[in-house]
A and B are shown apart, each in its own frame.
Chain A
Amino acid sequence: MVYENPDGVMIGLEVHVQLNNANTKMFCSCTSDYTDSEANTCLCAGCLALPGTTPVLNEKSVEYAIRIGLALNAEIENETDFFMKSYFYPDLGNGYQVTQFDRPIVKNGHILIEGEDGELKVRINRAHMEDDPGKMAHFGSIEKSTGSIIDFNRSGMPLVEIVTAPDMRSAKEARRFLDKLRSILEYLDVFDGSREGAMKADANISVNVFNGKRIEGTRVEVKNISSHKAVEKAINYEIMRQKDFLRKNKPLVQETRHYDEDRNVTISLRVKETADDYRYFPDFDLVPMIVGDRVEGIRATMPELPDAKRERFVAQYGISDAHAKSLVTERAFADLFESVAAKVDPKSAASWVADVVKGELNYRDMPITAISADDVVTVIEMVTKKEISEESGVTVIRTLLDDGGKPSDIVKAKGLAMVADDFIETAAKEAIAESPDAVADYKAGTEKALNFIVGKVMQKAKGKADARLAREMVLQELEKL
């Protein structure tokens, strides 16, 4: 199947990734862990851009940028440097952002995603390092506010901005790209995607086909897409808007628009500056970085990435590709699966971890740390040994998540242990003896009558019997008659 892309949509993304797993900020030794702190308590004179401070680059942010580059199958620039990008804004204390310009640390990479018509290669043009500004909040809406306040806790956080080629052809592909990217970044341990502002995207969108004819589309940049849920909506809105303009023969302008998540619209940002001249020039406070000699050392510590892991899981454990795909999206699930698969049948492990554990955790919005591999193994073993039913196994997992405790205690407390086989045999005999009509019906060929007898057995076992076994026992006893 070939995806026809009827509107000739081209989407490129600029993704800002906060390297919040580094302990410190990019150019100073302030903590990067400011999420729950009061405004302006996690900073130094440098974060506040007080005069007389000088930047010193965090070794970790360089290592993380290189890791990202390697994971994006990209080239790492041997000699790289920083530039100042100047503009006045209240949250940008220095009046310039420290970023990279013509020699980004990472260039020419790609990642593979599931496209509309099979595997799609999304090219990465570049990824560069830069620092995050502070955060502004307004009294009321931005348009009508009487004033604003600024918190510089975020100021100086290390960022990597990843810039793709316009290779995505639908909002769905853009979302899949972001999902894949997030998954890779989490594998690399460079960021915690659950933290606010950890990942933000701007999208460049153009519609290049109208009335079935190729046209020169207009590139519109949509800024401020902060959640994965928003990305599809924002892009689809913008595609719709551009198509609508084309249909009505209204002129499209190359511009930057702001996505308003609450109203699900993009809004034009009318900027007063006549031209965006950021006056990039080399940051003279820093010296050049020569990083080529670090690359191999970092490559040696690279974790196995999702694509490779998925292939290995299928080959090594003989599990289905669907299970493997589900397991590798998060490194922690993949690890949990492998711990469990080491002790029980890998196929059961895959199904329990991917279908049950993952689902129950997601339903509760709980982290994977809420459950241990040992407990999962215990539950699977109990089910395999028919000590409990599959349904009871799920109950145990749910109880573990909701109330904690040990699987064996839960089985005891809830009375989930299956009754013994000889009990079922006795119960089957009793049930047959108590149901002469049903037996007669069955003998006469009414299959349904069997269910009545099995139901009786289950009643006697108070649900703690394996339904299949109960059926077998009943059939066995009926044969004897």
Chain B
Amino acid sequence: MIQKDETKELAWVARIAVEDKDIPEFQDKINKKLEYYTVIADAPTDSVKKTVNPSRLNTVLRKDVVVPSMSVEDALKNAPDVYETSFKIPRIL
């Protein structure tokens, strides 16, 4: 179960601005899920391999051959802010 301050911390780690008034609801709903998950505790998983993807494929590799890049116009087309041909963002610190 997560506490209120952990919920706030999770929002920060997720980089999601959650208003203080919404934190209790978030905490409650996340905790309901965590409680729901307890059902898997008795799954007999000792020394069972993990499945990451249902694909049965392995070692799918690509040849080292260059495909032309997209145009810089396409690259920047959706950018919220641009400086010359770079993506511009507010200060980092």
Q: Looking across the interface, which residue of chain B has its beta carbon closest to that of A281?
A: B52
Instruction: For A290, list chain B residues within 8 Å (CB).
Output: 58-59
The residue in A62, A143, A148, A151 that gathers the most chain B C-beta atoms within 10 A of its C-beta is A148
Q: How far is the CB of A279 from the nearest CB of chain B, in Å?
A: 9
Instruction: For A23, list chain B residues within 8 Å (CB).
Output: 64-66
By secondary structure, the A interface counts as loop
Interface residues of chain B, those whose CB is within 8 Å of chain A, are 9, 13, 15, 50, 52-53, 55, 57-67, 69-70, 72, 75-76, 78, 83-93
Question: In the assembly, what is the distance between CA of A43 and CA of B75, in Å?
Answer: 8
A-B residue pair count with CB separations less than 8 angstroms:
125
Q: Known: A59-B62, A148-B92. Is A41-B72 also a contact (CB below 8 A)?
A: yes
**For chain A, which range describes its interface: under 10, 10 to 19, 20 to 34, or 35 or more residues?**
35 or more
Could you write out 12 A-B pairs with CB less than 8 Å apart? A24-B64, A29-B67, A38-B72, A42-B69, A43-B75, A57-B62, A58-B62, A138-B91, A273-B13, A287-B57, A288-B52, A288-B58
CB–CB A150/B86 < 8 A: yes
- Known pairs A59-B62, A289-B58 / 12 extra A-B pairs, C-beta < 8 Å: A38-B72, A40-B85, A41-B75, A56-B61, A57-B60, A90-B87, A148-B90, A148-B92, A149-B84, A282-B50, A288-B52, A291-B59
Instruction: For B13, list chain A residues within 8 Å (CB).
Output: 273, 277
Within 8 A of B (CB), among A115-169: 136-138, 142-143, 145-152
Q: Looking across the interface, which residue of chain A has its beta carbon closest to that of B72?
A: A41
Within 8 A of B (CB), among A369-419: none
Question: In the assembly, what is the distance between CA of A31 and CA of B69, in Å?
Answer: 8
Question: In the assembly, what is the distance between CA of A152 and CA of B89, in Å?
Answer: 14
The residue in B50, B53, B62 that gathers the most chain A C-beta atoms within 10 A of its C-beta is B62
The residue in A57, A59, A277, A282 that gathers the most chain B C-beta atoms within 10 A of its C-beta is A59
Q: Is A180 an interface residue (CB 8 A)?
A: no
Instruction: For B60, list chain A residues within 8 Å (CB).
Output: 56-57, 286-287
Instruction: For B87, list chain A residues within 8 Å (CB).
Output: 40, 90, 149-150, 152
Question: In the assembly, what is the distance between CA of A147 and CA of B87, in Å?
Answer: 11
Q: Is A74 an interface residue (CB 8 A)?
A: no
CB–CB A147/B90 < 8 A: yes
Q: How far is the CB of A214 from the nearest CB of chain B, in Å?
A: 39
Question: In the assembly, what is the distance between CA of A145 and CA of B78, in Å?
Answer: 24
Q: Is A3 an interface residue (CB 8 A)?
A: no
Residue-wise, chain A 42-72 has the 8 Å CB interface mask toward B (1 for contact) of 1111001010000011111010000000000
Question: In the assembly, what is the distance between CA of A340 and CA of B67, in Å?
Answer: 40
Q: Is A274 an interface residue (CB 8 A)?
A: yes
Q: How far is the CB of B69 from the nearest CB of chain A, in Å?
A: 5
Q: Known: A143-B93, A147-B89, A289-B59. Is A41-B66 also a contact (CB below 8 A)?
A: no
B89 contact from A24, A79, A90, Cβ within 8 A: A90
Q: Looking across the interface, which residue of chain A has its beta carbon closest to that of B87?
A: A150
Instruction: For B83, list chain A residues within 8 Å (CB).
Output: 147, 149
Q: How far is the CB of A452 from the nearest CB of chain B, in Å?
A: 70
